[in-house]
Homo-oligomer: A and B are copies of this chain.
Amino acid sequence: MFKINENYLKLPGSYLFSTIGRKVKEFTLENPDKKIIRLGIGDVTLPLAPAVISALHNAVDEMANKDTFKGYPPELGYEFLRQAIADHDFKSRGVTIALDEIFISDGAKSDSGNIGEIFDVDNKIAVCDPVYPVYVDSNVMAGRTGEYLPDLGKWTNVIYMPCTKETNFAPELPKEEPDIIYLCFPNNPTGSTITKAELQKWVDYANKVGAVIIYDAAYEAYISEENVPHTIYECEGAKTCAIEIRSFSKNAGFTGTRLGFTVIPKELKSGDVMLNSLWARRHGTKFNGAPYIIQAAGASIYTEEGKRQTKEQIAYYMNNAKVIREGLSAAGYSVSGGVNAPYIWLKTPDSMTSWEFFDYLLKEANVVGTPGSGFGPSGEGYFRLTAFGTYENTLEAIERIKRL
């Protein structure tokens, strides 16, 4: 008689964004006349840049011709894309990453969900609190998190690193030693980030205690301030302790186009075993690559034209972030983020819980945001708005919120 993975049954409720989707759907059915503005899920709204569109059309034409048709992609991804990444994302910042340290994937969500597979079940993870739900949920599924304590909204075997107003929304080094540390800077959901000097402390700590840092840099393109590292490998010693996960979703609007990559330096080892080899084996056995035409599209964002166009898109979203940040501040809200990240993190007013504020905002302003508590217990009393809407919608949403 077959047995299921009982860890799945421990997961409380459904995935955060599914719940939001259901609530919005219900509200829309009951109020078909209301114009909902979605500043909830971190989904982009601008169409793909002309350079990307052109690369896609060209690649499609290649697939139509027997001489240029592409079958199974190379296991690690096309070299033209890995070369562009090595040059533009790393070499340009003084970091040398070899092509076989880059693994092209269908996105950062898959990679951050699957990366746990190369580690033993018996590893203790540390996460920021609040945190992107995939880190914790994927570890729950793997049986790494112990039992859920519904009253606390916490797992018994997870080290939580609170990121609240009191810590300036940055984590402090944990008192208990973790084996795997998830960090995401610029941060989702708080929109905060840390300086290179601060990140260096984490790298030194991980090397000292023998922990691996899983560094999610999906939002690096939004960094506007100096001294904020674009890759963890800018820190000395990061290659012996850090895996970096990157996405094309937010820097080039690929949320529906699906492309990402993970970097695992060969220096990162457990005894003699390179984690790079383990991930290569996982990649070769349980994945068959991102589509050729999508990889070709990915490479186009590293051309001069592609760089300029995607930079303009980011500027557009960051202008929205400014509208939200300044508008809410003017309305008396306590806000952070939105300077190096497309997320604005606000304190809910009048001691409302995060979900109470969600319902209130949906009902009274027809604006969808994301409840902070959905990201972890320390997110309770906070709320996330994203800058990925259109300028017009963002402006209107903020005007509506101001009128509340």
Query: A209: which B residues are within 8 A, CB to CB?
Result: 1
Instruction: Kindly specify which of A61-69, A95-103, A343-351, A357-365 makes contact with the partner chain.
Output: A61-69
Residue in B47, B57, B117, B257 whose CB lies within 8 Å of A57: B57
Q: In the complex, are the beta carbons of A141 and B119 less than 8 A apart?
A: no
Chain B proximity of A67: nearest CB distance (Å) = 9
The answer to whether A404 has its CB under 8 Å from any CB of chain B is no
Residue in B270, B284, B292 whose CB lies within 8 Å of A257: B292
The answer to whether A70 has its CB under 8 Å from any CB of chain B is yes
Query: A179: which B residues are within 8 A, CB to CB?
Result: 1-3
Q: A285-B141, A286-B134 are in contact. Are A2 and B211 (CB under 8 A)?
A: yes
Q: In the complex, are the beta carbons of B3 and A122 less than 8 A apart?
A: yes
Cα separation A375 to B255 with both chains bound (whole Å):
37
Classify chain A: how many residues form its interface, as a range. 35 or more
Knowing that A2-B212, A106-B258, A134-B285 touch, tell me 18 more A-B residue pairs with CB under 8 angstroms.
Answer: A1-B209, A3-B123, A4-B119, A5-B118, A8-B281, A15-B284, A18-B284, A41-B72, A46-B66, A48-B64, A53-B63, A56-B63, A106-B288, A109-B287, A109-B288, A141-B281, A257-B292, A291-B294
Instruction: Name A residues whose Cβ lies closer than 8 Å to a Cβ of B.
Output: 1-6, 8-9, 11, 14-15, 18, 41, 43-48, 50, 53, 56-57, 60-61, 63-66, 69-73, 75, 106-107, 109-110, 113-114, 117-120, 122-123, 133-134, 137-138, 141, 179-180, 209-212, 255-258, 270, 273, 275, 278, 281-282, 284-294, 390
